[in-house]
DNA sequence: TTCAACTGTAATGTTTAAAATTACAGTATG
DNA sequence: CATACTGTAATTTTAAACATTACAGTTGAA
């Protein structure tokens, strides 16, 4: 599974978590644990799809514009990772005499495409808001365990 | 997505297609388009799960013992590819002060685990028999287009 | 009873894809 | 016009996937 998808979700949730909903690629990269160039490349894609606003120049960065409750993981998957589920590895050989060897690749491709649709269907029920809520639930849990320790 | 899964499905369908339901790792590797050592490693796993019989020594090889209608792609996925859907890449850092950075990995892990379950559910509705039928459907299509050419 | 044809598996080498890094042009701000 | 950003191409590094070699163990047949 494509890590760009994970980075994008993390970045967007991070932005959503900030009061100003804004951060530079350096701040995001630091929080995510990757390189700022990678973040910029991914955020570029999200900007083209209208999820974030970009401001170049000093004091610039990325600002979350999307409605957290409206954007689902399926949207992000489609923007950044569509097709990544289908393996590049091909089995068999279309030019072969054997029916199995010559057609297995097409058959498997169909199965994987359909599997990916199911995956997207599952992702379409998870919004960025849901993810942020899960993070907040962790926060409460952490606070509880700290209280117990004291 | 793990190519061992694809190789296993291809190999099993290939065996099912043969009158004797039997072939050596060399024959299978040739049909699949990979190396025989790779096939042997994968078939070893399938043997341990009881899908094929193995016969060492001269004239040996692998024989399909499983019921085509009973074995689903979910079975094969669980034997060979379970967990491969979850990305190894981790975002954030659990030791971090920020709630997002410290918990994003756990949250994403949960989402991916659940996604994998959905995937398995989808695969559980596709039997090896179904795959072989799809291959046979290709065969008929090929025959038709040959007739048209004549 | 030994040779040829197999499997099983570990070790190694090769290739490819993923990720990080460097580099630099373009843009806003003070 | 210096500083702090984005955008993107090119390059290097790293890690994973895959192929290959090597060899011990097994079986059947000449």
Does residue B105 have a pLDDT over 60? yes
Q: Is B64 helix (H, G, I), strand (E, B) or coil?
A: strand
Average pLDDT over residues A88-114: 94
- CA A106 distance to own-chain centroid: 28
The pLDDT-based confidence of B111 (bands split at 50, 70, 90) is: very high
What's the CA–C1' distance between B40 and C1, in Å? Answer: 29
Question: Taking the model in full, what pTM does it have?
Answer: 0.93
Angle between the N-to-C axes of helices A3-17 and A25-32, in degrees from 0 to 180, rounded to the nearest 10: 110
Contact at CB, A31 and B101, closer than 8 angstroms: yes
- Note the pLDDT tens digit of each residue in A68-93: 999 999 999 999 999 999 988 889 99
What is the number of other CB atoms lying within 10 angstroms of the CB of residue B138? Answer: 17
Task: Write down the residue that tokens 């058959």 correspond to.
Answer: A107
Which candidate in B99, B118, B132, B143 is best for mutational testing of the A interface (most A CBs within 10 A)?
Answer: B99
Question: Given a cut of 80, is residue B15 above it in pLDDT?
Answer: yes
Give me the pLDDT at residue B139, please: 75
Residues in Cβ contact with B60 at an 8 Å cutoff, skipping those fewer than 6 apart: B24, B54
Residue B86 CA to residue B70 CA, distance in Å, equals 27
Give the per-residue pLDDT at B83.
92
Distance separating the N- and C-terminal Cα atoms of chain A: 41
């Amino acid at each position: 599974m494509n890590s760009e998808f994970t980075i994008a979700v993390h970045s967007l949730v991070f932005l959503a978590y900030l009061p100003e909903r804004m951060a530079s690629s350096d701040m995001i990269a630091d929080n995510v644990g990757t390189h700022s160039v990678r973040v910029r490349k991914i955020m570029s894609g999200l900007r083209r799809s209208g999820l974030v606003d970009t401001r170049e120049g000093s004091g610039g960065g990325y600002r979350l514009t999307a409605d957290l409750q409206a954007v689902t993981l399926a949207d992000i998957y489609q923007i950044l990772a569509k097709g990544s589920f289908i393996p590049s590895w091909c089995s068999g050989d279309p030019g072969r005499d054997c029916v199995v060897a010559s057609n297995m690749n097409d058959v498997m491709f169909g199965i994987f495409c359909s599997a990916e649709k199911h995956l997207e269907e599952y992702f379409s029920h998870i919004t960025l808001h849901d993810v942020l809520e899960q993070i907040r639930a962790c926060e409460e849990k952490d606070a509880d365990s700290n209280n117990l320790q004291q």
